[in-house]
């Protein structure tokens, strides 16, 4: 049973047999955090693991040092999990007016099979009740009537716990919620390294990895979106943990707006991990009888190192967060015209590109920015979602019909949340743009953001976008978002509720996504925000894939895709081959290298295919055919990061990246090896593989259409044992130092087929 209540010990033990999470009702009826880690026996009484009392508080000696959902003002001086204020006081005489001190105490609990829905926000889900069990723990602040309900869902198949919180005002006075974390966890020691994913435009998913120290550390976004600068997740790994061994714990927030994820190490070495909506600038008015739900956070755990932890997130997010017809479907190989033409295209040019893409084997043509209003550059027309008549004389409908008649599907770019000052929409509704009356409206990329917290704006967008989607055979939508939110303010909210602005924006965004994905269930949605500025689990709940970065350089992509893979599955990563010199870095990398990096994700091409030489055309045809033959493995297989150039823990001296993916049934595995810069007189390098069956034999081959070295092929190909491949590895870099294969950006792809497997 995943959740047991031991009434004598007043202990809740949530466990799926691998991962245990234990909390206890303390003597003063607050909730203590007892344990989170490798599974403990279900029937134990773990009072010896109990948190210790705070020293020095003589009349409060039943309060403890590790709390489950801590409040401050009662002797715990760390950052709290939540803060409420009583602007109207508690009683008729205005008692405790303005106070934030409360006493939430255990009231009741419920344990049941399955997982309840979260209204208005994406969340992980179950398809059958036996996939998970849920604990609802109700706390009550008797003086105010505020109920705090902690939700925990333990999944049986995934080593993770979904957590969220509901605040319910059962009193007769307004309450102001000023901080409401989705998850707080007091760990008993601080011997962890904190991993974060940070970056910038075109440099997303940089892996930061540093030991915890006393005090605060963490990340946050205040941009209105999760941001390229910070991704809403943190990982703790034991200092000795590697990619494949050791303990790691991760928290990821299913949310697309301002967030905070931090760790505070206190004087007793207790590490408090929190993740939730960024409290900076946040408040929510909770009228009598009203409720507020936090977004959901996922707490994942693994004893199998960072790869083990990543695989928990990958499987949960791929199978039980993504939804709809595209969740399990093989994603189409696409051609996107953005880097091929930018804004400069005609219908004739698009049809030539689409026909050429079809001949190469692509299945979807995506028309990017520039098809609407009078948009010939980024100065105008966002908001005017009707066809650019000079470029598309027969409109989107005419073009989409012609493209699909060529035998390739048609997809379209949109940026619904935006408006240019130079647009009909802005001229008609200047007040729809987010602004503070009497203050400057900051432009970014010459555009403003619409106030998505206003239902009439969401309704308008739903209508105009539905009209386009109904008018033409459109199979795919790329939903972009190219700026941050400044001057946060809604003219539709009263002054005391302005703290609700950012969260209402996110709820409005989710509302529009919900409406469109429900109305057009057959369309594949891909999210984008200047690349990866909103690549988060919140949007994965609607768009099962996202555009990771505007940086399409294959070397850069090695680190971007690898960083993203700490949390996100390959099926969520749009990965495109682009032209050289690369538009972001001017780097020249070989075509096979570019393809082999993009194979590990949802393959696309982003260039003008009519410009390929005959030789390149043949090579790309073979790339696409190869990818299609192995696409289920690439998109839905179990992914491993092998020794990496990105972190000091590898034995590759920063010269290699290597990735591996294993099909669901274990029948095939594919290993990509990427040399970045070469140096002379190399010593042979053994690349140990992971995740294979040690007692099985594998037939190893190389992909002959890619770059490969005869020496590596001769040494490694043939029948090899799974144990040998994992313990001794592939032997690489035996090429003599005069070999042409010895240069920069050389890559090889090895295919492993399990002997006796049916395919
Ligand atoms: C930013 C995206 O990341 C690009 O791929 C492209 O769609 C442009 N916007 C279009 O303006």
- Flag whether pLDDT at 740 surpasses 80: no
How far apart, in whole angstroms, are the C-alpha atoms of residue 687 and residue 690?
A: 10
Q: What share of the chain is helix, strand, coil (3-state, %, to 5)?
A: 25, 30, 45
Please state the atom number of ligand 1 nearest to the C-alpha of residue 550.
3
Local structure of 475: helix, strand or coil: coil
The pLDDT score that the predictor gives to residue 652 is: 45
Give 65's pLDDT tier (boundaries 50, 70, 90): confident
How far apart, in whole angstroms, are the C-alpha atoms of residue 749 and residue 630?
A: 12
Among 367, 379, 413, 535, which is best to mutate for testing ligand 1, by the most ligand atoms less than 8 A from CB? 413
Q: What is the dihedral of CA 608, 613, 616, 622, to 10 degrees?
A: 90
Give 736's pLDDT tier (boundaries 50, 70, 90): low
How far apart, in whole angstroms, are the C-alpha atoms of residue 235 and residue 208?
A: 10
Specify the higher pLDDT residue, 43 or 310: 310
> Which residue has a Cα nearest atom 11 of ligand 1?
369
Please state the atom number of ligand 1 nearest to the C-alpha of residue 378.
11
Please state the atom number of ligand 1 nearest to the C-alpha of residue 478.
7
Among 528, 573, 574, which is best to mutate for testing ligand 1, by the most ligand atoms less than 8 A from CB? 528
pLDDT in tens, 231-254: 999 999 999 999 999 999 999 999
Give 648's pLDDT tier (boundaries 50, 70, 90): very low
> Which residue has a Cα nearest atom 2 of ligand 1?
530
Q: Do the beta carbons of residue 84 and residue 95 sit within 8 Å?
A: no
Does residue 262 carry a catalytic annotation? no
Which residues, 6 or more positions from 475, have their beta carbon under 8 angstroms from its beta carbon?
Answer: 332, 364, 409, 410, 411, 522, 523, 524
How far apart, in whole angstroms, are the C-alpha atoms of residue 9 and residue 109?
A: 15
Q: Kindly give the distance from the C-alpha atom of residue 530 to the centroid of ligand 1, in angstroms, as a whole number.
A: 6
pLDDT in tens, 539-570: 999 999 999 999 999 999 999 999 999 999 99
- Flag whether pLDDT at 743 surpasses 90: no
**Ligand 1 interacting residues, C-beta cut-off 6 A:** 338, 368-369, 413, 480, 482, 528, 530-531, 547, 550
State mean pLDDT over 398-412.
Answer: 98
Give 200's pLDDT tier (boundaries 50, 70, 90): very high
State mean pLDDT over 178-194.
Answer: 97
* Backbone φ and ψ of 615, nearest 5°: -65, -45
> Which residue has a Cα nearest atom 9 of ligand 1?
530
- By mean pLDDT, which of 204-208, 409-413, 473-477 is the weakest? 204-208
The pLDDT score that the predictor gives to residue 471 is: 97
pLDDT in tens, 745-756: 999 999 999 997
How far apart, in whole angstroms, are the C-alpha atoms of residue 649 and residue 661?
A: 21
The residue behind tokens 């140096």 is 679
How far apart, in whole angstroms, are the C-alpha atoms of residue 70 and residue 61?
A: 16
- By mean pLDDT, which of 186-200, 443-457, 620-634, 673-687 is the weakest? 673-687
DSSP 511-569: HHHHHHHHH-TTSEEEE-BTBBTT-SHHHHTT-SEEE-BS---HHHHHHHHHHHTTTS-
How far apart, in whole angstroms, are the C-alpha atoms of residue 609 and residue 449?
A: 34
Q: Do the beta carbons of residue 241 and residue 229 sit within 8 Å?
A: no
State mean pLDDT over 340-345.
Answer: 98
The pLDDT score that the predictor gives to residue 675 is: 87
Please state the atom number of ligand 1 nearest to the C-alpha of residue 528.
3
The pLDDT score that the predictor gives to residue 650 is: 40
Average pLDDT, the chain: 94
Given 369, 384, 550, 712, which residue is catalytic?
550
The CA–CA distances, whole Å, from 403 to 289, 437, 625 equal 54, 46, 21
The CA–CA distances, whole Å, from 543 to 202, 388, 402 equal 21, 26, 26
SS (H, E, C) 67-97: ECCCCCCCCCCCCCCEEEECCCCCCCCCCCC
State mean pLDDT over 191-208.
Answer: 96
- Flag whether pLDDT at 111 surpasses 50: yes
The neighbouring-strand residues paired with 667 are none
Rounded percentage of the chain residues whose pLDDT exceeds 70:
95
The pLDDT score that the predictor gives to residue 27 is: 86
The pLDDT score that the predictor gives to residue 759 is: 47
Q: Kindly give the distance from the C-alpha atom of residue 513 to the centroid of ligand 1, in angstroms, as a whole number.
A: 19
Given 480, 551, 697, 712, which residue is catalytic?
480
Does residue 50 carry a catalytic annotation? no
């Amino acid at each position: 049973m995943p959740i047991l209540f031991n009434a004598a010990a007043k202990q809740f033990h949530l466990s799926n047999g691998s991962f245990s999470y234990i909390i206890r009702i303390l003597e003063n009826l607050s909730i203590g955090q007892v344990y989170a880690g490798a599974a403990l026996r279900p029937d134990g009484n773990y009072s010896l693991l109990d948190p210790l009392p705070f020293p020095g508080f003589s009349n409060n000696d039943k309060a403890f040092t590790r709390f489950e959902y801590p409040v401050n003002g009662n002797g715990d001086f760390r950052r709290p999990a939540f803060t409420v204020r009583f602007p109207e006081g508690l009683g008729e005489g205005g008692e405790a007016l303005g106070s934030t001190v409360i006493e939430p105490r255990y009231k009741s609990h419920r344990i049941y099979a399955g997982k309840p829905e979260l209204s208005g926000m994406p969340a992980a889900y179950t398809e059958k009740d036996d996939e998970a069990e849920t604990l609802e723990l109700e706390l009550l602040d008797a003086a105010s009537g505020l109920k705090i309900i902690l939700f925990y869902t333990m999944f049986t198949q995934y080593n993770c716990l979904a957590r969220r919180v509901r605040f319910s005002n059962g009193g007769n006075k307004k309450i102001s919620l000023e901080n409401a974390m989705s998850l707080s966890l007091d760990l008993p020691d601080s011997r962890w390294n904190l991993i974060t994913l940070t970056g910038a435009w075109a440099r997303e998913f940089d892996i930061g990895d540093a030991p915890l120290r006393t005090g605060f550390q963490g990340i946050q976004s205040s941009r209105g979106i999760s941001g390229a600068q910070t991704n809403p997740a943190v990982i703790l790994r034991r200092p000795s943990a590697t990619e494949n061994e050791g303990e790691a714990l991760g928290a990821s927030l299913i949310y697309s707006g301002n967030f905070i994820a931090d760790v505070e190490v206190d004087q007793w070495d207790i590490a408090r991990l929190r993740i939730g909506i960024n409290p900076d600038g946040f408040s929510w008015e909770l009228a009598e009888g009203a409720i507020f739900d936090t977004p959901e956070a996922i707490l994942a755990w693994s004893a199998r190192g960072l790869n083990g932890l990543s695989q928990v997130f990958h499987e949960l997010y791929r199978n039980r967060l993504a939804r709809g017809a595209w969740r399990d479907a093989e994603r189409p190989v696409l051609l996107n015209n953005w880097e091929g033409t930018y804004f400069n295209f005609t219908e004739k040019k698009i049809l030539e590109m689409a026909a050429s893409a079809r001949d190469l084997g692509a299945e979807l043509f995506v028309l990017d920015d520039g098809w609407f209003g009078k948009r010939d550059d980024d100065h105008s027309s966002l908001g005017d979602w009707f066809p650019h008549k000079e470029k598309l004389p027969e409109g989107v409908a005419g073009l989409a019909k012609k493209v699909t008649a060529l035998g390739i599907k048609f997809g379209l770019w949109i940026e619904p949340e935006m408006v240019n000052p130079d647009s009909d929409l802005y001229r008609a509704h200047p007040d729809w743009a987010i602004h503070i009356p009497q203050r400057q409206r900051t432009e970014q990329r010459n555009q403003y953001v619409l106030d998505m917290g206003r239902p009439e704006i969401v309704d308008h967008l739903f209508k105009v976008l539905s009209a386009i989607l109904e008018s033409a055979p459109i199979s795919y939508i790329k939903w972009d978002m190219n700026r941050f939110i400044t001057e946060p303010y809604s003219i539709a909210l009263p002054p005391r509720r302005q703290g609700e602005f950012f969260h209402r924006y996110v709820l409005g965004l989710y509302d529009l996504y919900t409406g469109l994905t429900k109305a057009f269930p057959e369309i594949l949605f891909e999210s984008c925000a200047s690349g990866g500025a909103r690549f988060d689990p919140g949007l994965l709940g609607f768009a099962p894939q996202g555009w990771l970065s505007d940086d399409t350089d294959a070397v850069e992509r090695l680190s971007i895709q690898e960083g993203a893979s700490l949390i996100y599955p390959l099926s969520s990563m749009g990965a495109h081959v682009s032209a050289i010199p690369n538009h972001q870095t001017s780097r020249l990398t070989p075509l096979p290298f570019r393809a082999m990096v993009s194979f590990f994700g949802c393959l696309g091409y982003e260039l003008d295919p009519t410009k390929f030489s005959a030789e390149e055309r043949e090579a790309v045809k073979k790339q696409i055919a190869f990818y299609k033959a192995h696409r289920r493995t690439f998109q839905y297989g179990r992914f491993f990061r092998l020794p990496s150039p990105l972190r000091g823990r590898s034995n590759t001296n920063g010269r290699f990246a290597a990735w591996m993916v294993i099909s669901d049934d274990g029948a095939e595995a594919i290993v990509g090896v990427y040399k970045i810069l070469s140096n002379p007189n190399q010593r042979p390098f053994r690349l140990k593989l992971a995740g294979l069956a040690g007692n099985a034999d594998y037939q190893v081959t190389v992909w002959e259409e890619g770059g490969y070295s005869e020496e590596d092929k001769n040494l490694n190909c043939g029948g090899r044992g799974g144990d040998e491949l994992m313990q001794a590895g592939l032997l690489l870099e035996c090429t003599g130092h005069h070999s042409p294969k010895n240069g920069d950006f050389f890559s090889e792809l090895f295919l492993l087929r399990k002997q006796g497997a049916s395919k």
